[in-house]
Structure 1
């Protein structure tokens, strides 16, 4: 699963627990979380999940922030994880001779300057290229993209759920 929470509340004000209860409701074992607005990086147990997170430096204004929440019963499968910055992190799991790496992303909005977008996609490219080829790769997150409603041109590529009248963005 994947969810943009727009602020998760590092102060443990209950929003984090509500989000984890929602993940339980939908029976999600792994979920990418974007826009946590948490500082630093680390891991914290919330409900039935271990949440690995990557955010801004302590002295910076809160923005962005990504996390991967994994059900407690699967934490023993986690082999490594790496916070990259406030927009990208990854977590690897192995079980029964299968390795999977989950990448959690939060792309700059379409209104962001081109330099910020280029930096994000270059970093994501470096991260993806650094994942061992034998791993299954799952990239999850909020790419802040709009796909428009041109279903006929993109038949077989996009579904019929584009926003009518919405322009496709360059994200």
Structure 2
């Protein structure tokens, strides 16, 4: 996986969500990662997430075609969406949270989301891969319109994570 040298990498942040007074706190370790490509490297990704105790990781630039869900090892499940051999997004979920996934929304090869409902809190996690400098103004506009439309369509969740 591409990235900065190990000593300069930031650690995933733990998000503690308190839904209502009667419910205990729910710790969720979140991360996001531009993987560059995932070809033959999904086990490496799972191992890395496990060692960092990440529960949910949004990944970008998978470069995989199709919409699928697959076990990638160490108790992690990858749900991904892509339209061609470029772009592509996914969300990796640990065994702790994968049984709480109640919906998967594949919007485009740059945008997808999952709904996680633990009974204590409902979260919508969005994996987004924004167009870069070399993309056309039309691509950029389309991406941000899709993102805005999707974000505003989410009403029942208490927590929205992008």
By the TM > 0.5 criterion, same fold?
yes
Encode CA deviations 1:1-54: one digit per residue, 9 max, x unaligned: 000010001xxx2x1110111111111000000000010101001112111111
Structure 2 partner of 1:151: none
Q: Which runs of 5+ in 1 are unaligned?
A: 140-171
Encode CA deviations 1:88-141: one digit per residue, 9 max, x unaligned: 0000011133100000010111221111100000000011011124331000xx
Q: Using the TM superposition, name which of 128-137 and 109-118 deviates more.
A: 128-137
2:125 aligned counterpart, secondary structure: strand
Structure 2 partner of 1:4: 34
Report the structure, 1 or 2, having the larger strand content. 2
Structure 1 segments (4+ residues) deviating >4 Å? none
So what's the TM-score if we normalise by structure 2? 0.78
Q: Which runs of 5+ in 2 are unaligned?
A: 1-30
1:52 aligned counterpart, secondary structure: strand
CA distance in 2, matches of 1:118, 1:16: 31
2:79 paired with 1:52: yes
Structure 2 partner of 1:163: none
So what's the TM-score if we normalise by structure 1? 0.74
CA distance in 1, matches of 2:64, 2:32: 17
Structure 1 partner of 2:105: 82
1:118 aligned counterpart, secondary structure: helix
2:151 paired with 1:128: yes
Structure 1 partner of 2:63: 37
CA distance in 1, matches of 2:126, 2:95: 19
Structure 1 partner of 2:119: 96
CA distance in 2, matches of 1:69, 1:135: 21
Shift of 1:85: 1.3
